[in-house]
Chain A
C-alpha cells in the first residue's frame, strides 16, 4: 500500500508534470467528445462489440488462427509470460537477429519481453519516444498511453545531455524530438525483427489495428522482415467493420485528439518490399517482400477473468487511459502510485488482480475513492469503481481478522470479519453516528480532545488535522416526529430519506428540505431508516452493504407502495439507490427504489416544472453564489437540476468544474491520504478563489464535499436547499 511518505515524495517529484498532462488530456477529452453527435451511441456500439467478442472468445480465437495462417502468418497462444517469451526468443534466435525494434505495447511490458531478449544478448530498442526516454532512464511507464507523462521537458533534456553528451546541449521539445528521431531512425533501419502490440484484431480477415501518432509502429513493421505482434487474447473482435466505433473513440477518450495521426490496419505479412537501406543501386520495387509474421496472443489469466463474473468487464478495456486522466487522485500522484506491476490508473485494479493477483492490486486499490468520475469517461462503459470495490472486498477477505477489537460491536456482519480495523470503523459509521447523537454534546467534546485524536490516529489512522463531524442531539427523524405535516391538500406525497449525515450531523439541511417540499405542496414523512450501505461499500465490505440495502428497501418499500416518492438529499446515497443497488439486491426491489427515488433538487425541479410556484420559496434577485456539485451526482447527470432551480430562484450561479473535491467520503480522513486529499482539494480551492468567485457564498450538495470545502476555505459552505427554505 502506498504510504503517506511515498505519496508525498511522488507529489513532490512527479506531481506537477502528471497534473499538467493528465488535466490537459482530460479537458481535451471533454472538448473532443462534445463534437461527436452520436457519442453515446458509439459508446453503446463499442461496448456491445466487446461484450459479444468476450462471450464468443474461444470461437473467435479459432477463426483468427485460421485466417492468419491462411494469410501466411503464424499464431501462438501463450499461457503466460514465460511461455510467450520463450516463443518470441525462438523467433528472434531463428532469425539470428542482433537487434529488435519495438513499438510501445503494454502487453509486452506485462510479459517483460525486453529483459527476456536482452538476457540472450539481443539489443532491444524502444522506438516510441516516451518509452525510449524511460528505457534510457531505466524507469517504468507511469501511464497507459503516455508512458513518460511524469517527466518534464527539463528532466528529459538533462537526461539526454548527460547520456549522449551532444555538441550543443539539447533544450527545446523540438530539439529533443529531432535528436531522438535521428538516433532511433538509424537503429530502426538496422534491425531485423520488429515487435508491436495490437489495439484490435479482426478475426474475419486477420487485420490488426495499431493506433499511434509518431509513425514508429509503421517504421517498426516496414523496416524489418520479421514482425512479432504481441497482444492479450481479449483484443480480438469479429470483423473489420467493428473497428469503426473504436477508431472514433480511442484517441478522443485518451488524449483528447479526434484521431491519432496513424491508425495502421495491417493484414500481415504486408506487401511492402524488404529493402536494404544502404543499397544505392536497386530500385525499391525490385526488392522482395519476403516477410515473416507471428501473432502471439497471451492468456496470462485472461481466460479465467472471462469466467469471473466481476472481473470479466475488465476485458472490455481498450487501454485508452480515460479512467486515469479523469481520476482526481491520479491527476495528483500519477501511475507510479496508482499502478501495480504493469497497468496503472482506475482499470489497473481489474487488470492487476486478474493477471498478477489480488496482492499486487492491493498496493494501490485504496487510491480509488469510488467517486465514479471515470464511469462516464470510459468509452466501453466499464463500471470501474465497482471492480475496485469487488477487489477491495477480496483483499479484506484475504486478511486475518484483526486481533484487537477496539471497535467491537461495529461489525454486525461476520462475513466482513477480515476487514482491517480502520475499514470496519468507517464501514460501520452508522453505529458511531447513533452513539454520537445519543451522547452529544459529550461525544463531540470527547472526540475533540488531544488524547482521543492521538488514539484515533494511532489505532484507526484518522488524521488529527481533519475536523470531525459534530453530532446533533436531536436527529432529523426525532425533529420530524415531533411536528405535524404543514400541508392540508398535498399535490404529492414523499418520504424524505434520512441519510446518516443529515439525520445525525447536518440536521439543518434536512429541516430545510422538509420545509421546501412542504412549501411546494408535498406531504413529507421522515421515518427512521437504516443507512444506505455507502459507508461499508466504500470500504469493500460488500456483504454488510448488501445487508443495509436489503433493510433500506424493506423500510422504504411500504412507503413506495403507498404512493410516496423517495426524496434523497445526499447524492452518494441517491447513487446507491439508482446505481449500486442493482449489484446488491434483487431486480424487483432495485427497480422499485431506483424508479421512485429523486435527488432533492431533481425533485424540486420536477415540481416547479409541473406547475408549482417558485414564489413559495425563498428567492433572491441576482444574488451571486458559487456551487460545487458532487461526483456521483454529476455521473448521474443531476448537476443541471440544482443550477436550474437556483437560477429560477434568482441566483447568479458559478459552478466548479474540477473532477472532484478530493474528500470522497472517508478517504480524506485517513492519515495516509490526508495530504493527497488536500492536494486534490487545492484545485477546487483555486477555482473558488478566482476573480469574481472569491466573494461568493459557496453551496455544495455532498456531505464530504461540504466538509472538504469547509477545510479549504474561510467561507463556510452550506447545502443549496438551505437557500430555498422560507
Chain B
C-alpha cells in the first residue's frame, strides 16, 4: 500500500499537482483549507461516506446553480480511483453534475480515499472494464491540469482547470 501511495504522490508532484492527506474526521477542515472561494462542490458518494462528509461545514456550496458554477473558482468532487504510476485520477460522471463541477473551474480539488489508489494503468482499466460491463457508465482519466501547447509554448489551464489539488483520505485512522 505504501509503495502505491508513494508512487502516486511522486507522480502528482511531477505533474505540479499539490497533495494533502487527512483522516475522515478532519476531512472538512482539509477541504476548507484547500479551496479558494467562491467554491462549489459535489458531496462524496453517500454509499461510501457518512454524514460527516456532507461538506455542509465548509465554504463549499453543494449543488450550486449554473451561474454559481460559472462564477466559482474552486470545484470539489470525489475521485473514484487514483492511478499510482501516472498520478491520474478517475473522475465519474454523475447526475449530481460532477463532470461540470470538476471541469468549469480554475481549481479542482479531488477527494480520494487511500484504498482507491490502484498501482498502475492496467489495474485501473481492469477495474473500469468490470464496472462498465456490470453497470455501464462513464469516467474521465484526468492527469494533471488541462494544458495546451497550441499557442507556441506549454500553458496550463486551457479549457479546464489550471490547478489540481488532491486530498487523500487515509483509512483506518
Where the two chains meet, the residues of A that have a C-beta atom closer than 8 Å to any C-beta of B are: 71, 127-130, 133, 146, 148, 151-154, 156, 172-174, 176-178, 180-181, 184-185, 188-189, 202, 204-205, 207, 213-216, 218-219, 222, 239-241, 243-244, 247-248, 255, 258-268, 270-273, 275-285, 287, 289
- Rounded to whole Å, the gap between the CB of B173 and the closest CB of chain A is 31
With both beta carbons as reference points, the residue of chain B lying nearest to A189 in the complex is identified as B70
B residues within 8 A CB of A127? 159
Shortest A295–chain B CB gap in Å is 14
User: Cβ of A71: which chain B residues have Cβ within 8 Å of it?
Assistant: 136
- Asked if A205 contacts B132 (CB within 8 A), the reply is yes
In the complex, the chain A residue whose C-beta lies closest to that of B140 is A264
Residues of A within 8 A of B161 (CB): 215
Whole-angstrom CA separation of A133 from B152 in the bound complex = 12
Which residues on the A side are within 8 Å of B121 (C-beta)? 244, 247-248, 259
Contact between B100 and A240, CB atoms less than 8 A apart:
no
Interface status of B88 (Cβ within 8 A of chain A): yes
| Nearest-CB residue, chain A, relative to B14 | A258
Residues A133 and B100 in contact, CB atoms below 8 Å apart: no
Per the bound structure, the CA–CA distance linking A283 and B143 in Å amounts to: 28
Residue B158 CB within 8 A of the other chain: yes
User: Chain A residues with Cβ under 8 A from B1's Cβ?
Assistant: none
The CA-CA distance from A214 to B142 in the complex, in Å, is 11
B20 contacts the other chain (CB 8 A): no
Q: With a CB–CB cut-off of 8 A, which chain A residues contact B159?
A: 127, 181, 184-185, 188, 214-216, 218-219
Question: How far apart are the CA atoms of A111 and B146 in the complex, in Å?
Answer: 29
Closest chain A CB from B56 CB (angstroms): 15
Is the Cβ of B65 less than 8 Å from the Cβ of A282?
Answer: yes
Contact of A173 among B101, B126, B151 (CB under 8 A): B151
Q: Does B24 belong to the interface (CB within 8 Å)?
A: no
- Complex Cα distance, B125 from A174, in Å, reads 34
Whether A205 touches B133, Cβ cut-off 8 Å, given contacts A216-B159, A283-B65, A284-B69, is yes
Contacts of B68 in A (CB 8 A): 280
The minimal Cβ–Cβ distance linking B91 to chain A, given in whole angstroms, is: 9
Q: Which of B70, B93, B129, B140 contacts A241 (CB 8 A)?
A: B129
Among residues 47 to 91 in chain B, which have CB atoms less than 8 Å away from a CB atom of chain A?
A: 63-70, 86, 88
Specify which chain A residues have a CB less than 8 angstroms from the CB of B10 in the assembled complex.
Answer: none
Whole-angstrom CA separation of A258 from B15 in the bound complex: 11
Instruction: Give the distance in Å from the alpha carbon of A148 to the alpha carbon of B152 in the complex.
Output: 10
In which size bucket is the chain B interface? 35 or more
Among A133, A264, A265, which residue has the most Cβ atoms of chain B within 10 A?
A265
Which single residue of chain B is at the shortest CB-CB distance from A251?
A: B143
Contact between B152 and A267 (Cβ–Cβ < 8 Å)? no
Give me the interface of B with A, judged by CB distance under 8 Å: 63-70, 86, 88, 93-101, 103-104, 121-122, 125-126, 128-129, 132-133, 136-155, 157-161
> What chain B residues lie within 8 Å of A239 (beta carbons)?
129
Cβ distance A691 to chain B, nearest Cβ, rounded Å: 28
Task: Tell me the bound Cα distance from A581 to B59 in angstroms.
Answer: 70
Is A279 a contact of B147 with CB atoms below 8 Å?
A: no
Bound complex: CA A181 to CA B103 (Å): 13
**Docked pose: A156 CA to B153 CA in angstroms:** 12
Question: Does B141 lie within 8 Å of A262, measured CB to CB?
Answer: yes
The CA of A176 and the CA of B153, in the complex, are separated in Å by: 10
Q: CB distance A176 to B136 under 8 Å?
A: no
Shortest A93–chain B CB gap in Å is 27
Task: For B68, give the chain A residue with the smallest CB separation.
Answer: A280
Provided the pairs A261-B146, A261-B160, A265-B140 are in contact, do residues A273 and B95 lie with their beta carbons within 8 angstroms? yes
Q: Are B103 and A177 in contact (CB under 8 A)?
A: no
**How far, in angstroms, from A207 to B161 measured CA to CA in the complex?**
25
**Chain A residue at minimal CB-CB distance from B141:** A263
**Contact yes or no, B151 A129, CB < 8 A:** yes
Contacts of A151 in B (CB 8 A): 152
Report if A219-B66 is in contact (Cβ < 8 Å); known contacts: A214-B148, A259-B143, A262-B146: no
User: When chains A and B are docked, how far (Å) is the Cα of A260 from the Cα of B140?
Assistant: 12
- Is A129 a contact partner of B158 (Cβ separation < 8 A)? yes
Q: Which of A219, A272, A279 contacts B67 (CB 8 A)?
A: A279
The answer for the CA separation of A272 and B150 in the assembled complex, in Å, is: 29
State the CA gap A82–B111 with chains docked (Å): 47
Are A284 and B125 CB-contacts (below 8 A) given A240-B132, A267-B136? no
Given A216-B159, A241-B126 in contact, is the A148-B150 Cβ separation under 8 Å?
yes
Answer whether A215 and B69 are a contact pair too, CB < 8 Å, given A71-B136, A258-B86, A273-B97. Answer: no
Complex partner residue of B66 from A178, A205, A214, A284, CB under 8 angstroms: A284
Cβ contact within 8 Å between B63 and A283 = yes
CB distance from B73 to the nearest CB of A (A): 15
User: With A247-B125, A279-B65, A280-B65 in contact, is A270–B93 under 8 Å at CB?
Assistant: yes
Indicate which residue in B100, B104, B148 contacts A129 across the interface (CB closer than 8 Å).
B148
Residues in A neighbouring B67, C-beta threshold 8 A: 277-280
Assuming A177-B157, A267-B138, A280-B67, is B103 touching A215 (CB within 8 A)? yes
Known: A244-B122, A281-B65. A275 touches B158 (CB 8 A): no
Q: A214-B148, A216-B158, A284-B97 are in contact. Are A266 and B65 (CB under 8 A)?
A: no
Complex: A352 Cα to B95 Cα, angstroms: 43
Are A272 and B99 in contact, CB atoms less than 8 angstroms apart?
Answer: yes
What is the bound-complex CA distance between A272 and B122, given in angstroms?
27
- Give the distance to chain B from A125, nearest Cβ to Cβ, in Å: 13
- Interface-centre pick from A204, A239, A255, A262 (highest chain B CB count, 10 A): A262
Contact assessment for A173 and B97 in the assembled complex, using a CB-CB cutoff below 8 Å: no
